[in-house]
Chain A
Amino acid sequence: MAVRELVENSLDAAELAGMLPDVYVRIVANDPSAENANQEPKAYRVTVADNGPGVDPHHVPRAFGKVFYGSKYVLRQSRGMFGMGGTMAILYGQITTNKPVKITTSTDGKSRHIFEMLIDISENKPIILRKDTEEGAGKTGTRVDVILEGDFTRSAQKINEYFKQTALVGSYANLTFVDPIGRITTYERATESMPVAPKETLPHPHGIDVEALKRMIKITEEKNMEKFMGNKHFHRVGETNARKFLQFAGVDGKIAPEKLSNEQVVKVVDALQRFPEFLPPDASCLSPVGEQILTTGIIKELQPEFSTVVMRPPSSYSGFPFLVEVGLVYGGKVLEPGRKLFRFANRIPLLYDESSDVSFKVLNEEIDWRRYHVPEEAPVAVITHICSTKVPYKTVGKEYIADRPEIEAEIKNGVRESLRRLSVFLSKKGNMEASQRKMNIYGKYLPLIAQFSAGLAGQKREPRYKQLLQEEEQEAAEIKQEIEAEAQKDANGEKIIEQTAIEQTTIEDYR
């Protein structure tokens, strides 16, 4: 999933800079004339280009050529894990093909910087093979060319799925994907509003483990524990609470952090978990997709008959703030019969191990679908998005989310709320159909009844039966209006903008 990591980096970069992202991805066989050109796996050149702010040339070697770059001492909701996703992709390329990565970036649009480098794995540092500066093309952005071995035939389905789902939550991005056969798939921007970029935040004391604390002690410049605890190292901990906590933990406030013994560190971590007076984490650092962007994505990608988005209020688990968004989609042009689940964590589509995921568990074990009168074969898709400064993945593979009770409860609440809305829609739709049917039947038989009764009674004039039809018609029209008003409300986040054609030139600039 090298493609994914690189794309996530590009999206993150553009979003952080508040720029509407355009991301271009191309996969081509690296050497089409090679003898084994038709065999899989083989070497592919993966190109990912974005219109983001670019990377300062001084940072390029470290940003792309070093694993674990950055002192991730502050927390931020981000797609990649500790910013190493992209590097891992580069490393993977190097391991499988021993070819350097090529980075092209421009921060000002005037000049662009080209790097070719390898990573010295044992030293964990970049080896720069080429460094050039050229005349820029007036656009900022970064382009990464990495050559890696892969089996496109096998991964094609997942890659396509990845783009589709990314477009679902990223309706503000232009995505272009060119596959090795040259087929171009574009997902066009449908809204100009972007989610608010996530803010950096200090770690919450509940979320600190022994390793994290040791790392913080190493970095800190504070000379005593009181200052260390109370002075902008922890989320929402002030001086007063710091003093209270140290008392609770039985640690001297005057002691220098680096003087703490191993046992004392463990003691502090234990107390950090148990101290009842820490304020709950503040969720302002979270950046959900948002109802409007998600709705836009759903309408654009799934063209549904009905959709709704439920935003749950922020909550926290083990000191990490999180927020759940649930989208429910019904019917329309794309969905097929049966339930589908789209899982996202910090806007990344999760594509593997669905059945181990907490959302899957909620949907299949904890929701009684019959209560909402949604049959099993109904064309329904559920979208769950969990954003957090730390998403509790079950494994390092980052493919499915553990069933933390707090998260599980929020997903359940969100799904239930969305199902209630669907249920209301379905019953109204049923009423409308029934009413329509009734109208048709009345319209067919009442005139006949009128004719025969007039004949039987020896009346020349038809009885005034049309008033009955009008009453029914009125009733049907009322129900219809109600449904349409509801649909209007759903679509009224913000107007979907005219779809802009993707500017292919943006991409060419980086070639």
Chain B
Amino acid sequence: MQVALKGLGQNVYADLDAGRFPAVSFASRSVKNIVYDKKLQQFILGTNSVRRSAGNIKHIRPFTQLLWLAFFSKKLVDEKRTSTLRDVYYSAQAFNVEFMDQAESDELITDLEVLLESAREEFNVYPEERSAIFGNLTVEYTVKGYEGKRLDLSSHPDGMMIGPALTTAEFRDTDAEMVLAIEKGGLFTRFIEEKVHEKYKAILINTAGQPPRSTRYILRRLHEELKLPIGILCDADPWGAHIAMVIKSGSANAAHLRDLTTPSAVWLGVWASDIVKYKLPSDPLTEIDIKRLYELKADPRYKDKMWHDELDTFLKIKKKSEQEAFSRYGLSYIVDKYLPEKLQLLKSH
């Protein structure tokens, strides 16, 4: 990574020294250039590229921002430090580089990822942590200052935050047989209280909504390295369904990155058909929900029959339910009754 960043700087430096305006080229992230790769089962960037030149009045600002990000990242990597997306945004001000808002700096970080063909974690930039992990898994840290230290992930009842240290830790010891990714903290806590990790030998992960890349990355590692099946539980609405899909097939936003998807992960629920089957308390779909459903129907990732049928069921019943809806049958119903049925599905995969 240091070499790549230094190379970028050397090119720019040489151009300036020779009286030329420096420029960079990288794959375009425009919607037109994002294509679905069936073999990889994820979105990838096409062959179009963009050129950003300091000689162009419209480009010079983002060019400067990009170069600063590279400069800042190199310092992080050199000094073995990390920074969150938000930190990056604020750090810029110390260098007289302005970002309008964090969205703009996030955008440019993604550009730098495309340019370097590396995930931001490789140049030590991480998102704000919010997802958590709990279960019978012992990890060994590799981060600076903690090398060799071990941690049992079932030692803290609130779960451990998934950050750079966990993402890069080695998996040492586990008796788990599966991984359950859960959309919301409420159910994650219920599962810990109900000892799902013992009853079903499961590692529990709270994705806290759409899972950040580090969480998707750790899910993939759990599957690849420990050969554990991944099951996903989320709300019965188009947004929940898409959380499952992003874990399986990735997002358009990360079309330039690999190793974030787990194509064999299984969407366990809650399905549209579960609302009917379990007579779950429900809310009517909003207009935005319906619009989103039609978008998903047009998405190549959803053309699989089972997914397509569920989208149609949503549109038919015009209802949605939350995971918590099972509580009408008692707090432990979801763990004792619903989960075993769904886990059959996971095992059969």
Contact = CB atoms under 8 A, between A and B. Distances in A.
B125 to A, nearest CB: 16
Given A442-B60, A448-B95, A448-B97, A456 B16 contact: no
A206 B54 CA distance: 70
Interface string A445-456: 110111011111
Interface in A409-446: 437-438, 441-442, 445-446
Nearest to A456: B9
B6 A464 contact: no
A471 B55 CA distance: 12
Q: Which of B5, B12, B68 has the most CB of A within 10 A?
A: B12
A461 to B, nearest CB: 9
A455 B71 contact: yes
A416 B137 CA distance: 85
B22 interface: yes
A448 B63 CA distance: 10
Which of B13, B17, B70 gathers the greatest number of chain A CB atoms within 10 Å? B13
A449 B6 contact: no
Contact of B96 (A448, A458, A465, A471): A448
B21 interface: yes
B57 A438 contact: yes
B279 to A, nearest CB: 61
A452 B67 contact: yes
B10 interface: yes
B64 A448 contact: yes
B16 A445 contact: no
A468 B60 contact: no
Interface string B29-65: 0000000000000000000000000100100110110
Given A448-B96, A452-B70, A468 B19 contact: yes
Contacts of A465: 16
A326 B231 CA distance: 83
A441 B58 CA distance: 10
A98 interface: no
Given A438-B57, A445-B60, A448-B97, A463 B16 contact: yes
Contact of B68 (A438, A448, A467): A448
Given A448-B95, A464-B16, A455 B60 contact: no
Contacts of B61: 441, 445
Contacts, number: 82
B233 to A, nearest CB: 45
Nearest to A438: B57
Contacts of B6: 456-458
Nearest to B9: A456
Q: What class of interface size applies to chain B in its complex with A?
A: 20 to 34
Contacts of B213: none
A459 interface: yes
A456 B60 contact: no
B9 A449 contact: no
Interface in B300-341: none
Given A448-B68, A448-B95, A467-B19, A454 B13 contact: yes
Contact of B17 (A442, A463, A471): A463
A437 B14 CA distance: 26
Sort chain A's interface into a size bin.
20 to 34
Interface string B15-27: 0110101100000
A446 B13 contact: no
A424 B12 CA distance: 38
Contact of B54 (A445, A454, A471): A445
Contacts of A446: 16, 54, 60
A457 B14 CA distance: 10
Nearest to B69: A452
A456 B19 contact: no
B5 A468 contact: no
A437 B61 CA distance: 13
Contacts of B63: 445, 449
B17 A452 contact: no
Nearest to B55: A468
A456 B95 contact: no
B323 to A, nearest CB: 47
Contacts of A468: 16, 19, 21
Interface string B214-227: 00000000000000
Contacts of B10: 453, 456-457
Interface in A463-511: 463-465, 467-468, 471
Interface string B152-195: 00000000000000000000000000000000000000000000
A453 B19 contact: no
Given A438-B57, A448-B95, A465-B16, A456 B8 contact: yes
Interface in B59-108: 60-61, 63-64, 67-68, 70-71, 74, 95-97
A471 B68 CA distance: 25
B70 A456 contact: yes
A450 B18 CA distance: 12
Given A449-B63, A449-B64, A468-B21, A463 B95 contact: no
Contact of B13 (A437, A457, A467): A457
Nearest to A454: B13
A449 B61 CA distance: 10
A453 B16 contact: yes
Contacts of B54: 445-446, 449
A401 to B, nearest CB: 49
Contact of B57 (A437, A448, A471): A437
A467 B74 CA distance: 28
Given A456-B8, A463-B16, A464-B17, A449 B67 contact: yes
Nearest 9 CB-CB pairs, A to B?
A: A456-B9, A463-B16, A453-B12, A457-B9, A452-B71, A453-B13, A463-B17, A457-B10, A465-B16
29 contacts: A437-B57, A438-B57, A441-B57, A441-B60, A442-B60, A445-B54, A445-B60, A448-B68, A448-B95, A449-B12, A449-B67, A452-B64, A452-B68, A453-B10, A453-B22, A453-B67, A453-B71, A455-B71, A455-B74, A456-B12, A456-B71, A456-B74, A457-B6, A457-B9, A457-B10, A458-B6, A464-B17, A464-B19, A467-B19
Given A445-B60, A453-B67, 17 more contacts: A441-B57, A446-B54, A448-B64, A448-B67, A448-B68, A449-B16, A449-B22, A449-B54, A449-B60, A452-B67, A452-B71, A452-B95, A453-B16, A455-B74, A456-B10, A456-B71, A457-B12
